[in-house]
Amino acid sequence: MEIYEQILRDFGFSREEDERAARLMKELAGDRLLESSVLEFIRGKSVAVIGGAYEGESIREEVVITAGKAVNKVNFVPHIHVTDMEEDEKILASLEERGCILVLHAHGDNVERIKRVVPVVQRFVGTTQSTPFDRIYNFGGFTDGDRAALLAKKFGARRIRLYGFDFEKADNPVKLKKLKWAKFILEREGIIWGPVG
C-alpha cells in the first residue's frame, strides 16, 4: 500500500475531501498558480529546512525553506515557505511581498484556510497529497517539514540540512503521530537516517 493510503487509514482522512480541497484551490487561484519551474533555482544548492522546533541556530546554507509555523521563529525572509496555511494570512501575504515563494498545500481539513488565504496572496505554487493535476503538484511528503525537504530533494538540492526537527516533541498525540510519519518519510527518502531525531 502506498504511504498516502496508509496515512489516510491511520488518521481517518478522506481522499475525496483532499481532492475536493485541491480542486477548490485550483478554482480560487486560476492562473495565479505558479509553474513548479520557479523552484529550479534550488538545483545544486545547499538547502536548510526549518521545522517547528527551531531555536535560532545559525544557518549557513544557500537556500532556506521554512515549514509551517516555524516561519514565526525566524527573523529573515526565507526563499521558500511550505505550509498548509495554519499561519495568519497577513504573514503569508507579507512574506510573498518580500520575495518569498509560497508553496501552499490543500488538504481535506484546511478548506476554510484555502478560502481565506488564496484570495489575499498573489501567486503561489499549489500542492496536494493526492493525484496532481493542472499546476497542483505533489512533490511527496505529509507534514509541512517533510514536504519541504522532499521538495528540496526533488529539485536537486546538493545537500539538505534540517533545523528544528524533534520528532518526540509534541503537545498532543495527533501531532506526535504526524511527526512519526514525517520521520518515517524522511528516513525512507534518505534525508535522515539512523537514530537522528
Ligand X SMILES: Nc1ncnc2c1ncn2[C@@H]1O[C@H](COP(=O)(O)OP(=O)(O)OP(=O)(O)O)[C@@H](O)[C@H]1O
Are the C-beta atoms of 11 and 180 separated by less than 8 Å?
A: no
144 binds ligand X (CB under 6 A): yes
The closest alpha carbon to 167, from 195, 188, 197, 191, belongs to 197
* Residue 127 contact among ligand PH2, ligand X, none, beta carbon within 5 to 8 Å by kind: none
Closest CB to ligand PH2 among residues 142, 163: 142
Dist. CA 102–CA 105, nearest whole Å: 10
Angle, CA 192 vertex, CA 124 and CA 66 arms, to 5°: 25
Q: Should residue 146 be labelled a site residue for ligand X when binding is judged by CB under 6 A?
A: yes
Residue corresponding to grid cell 499546476:
135
Rule CB under 6 A: is residue 103 a binding residue for ligand X? no
Among ligand PH2, ligand X, none, residue 108 binds (CB under 5-8 Å by kind): ligand PH2
What is the binding site for ligand PH2 (CB under 6 A)?
13, 18, 84, 107-109, 129, 142-143, 178
Residue 64, strand partner residues = 48
Q: With CB cut-offs between 5 and 8 Å by kind, which of ligand PH2, ligand X, none does residue 69 bind?
A: ligand X
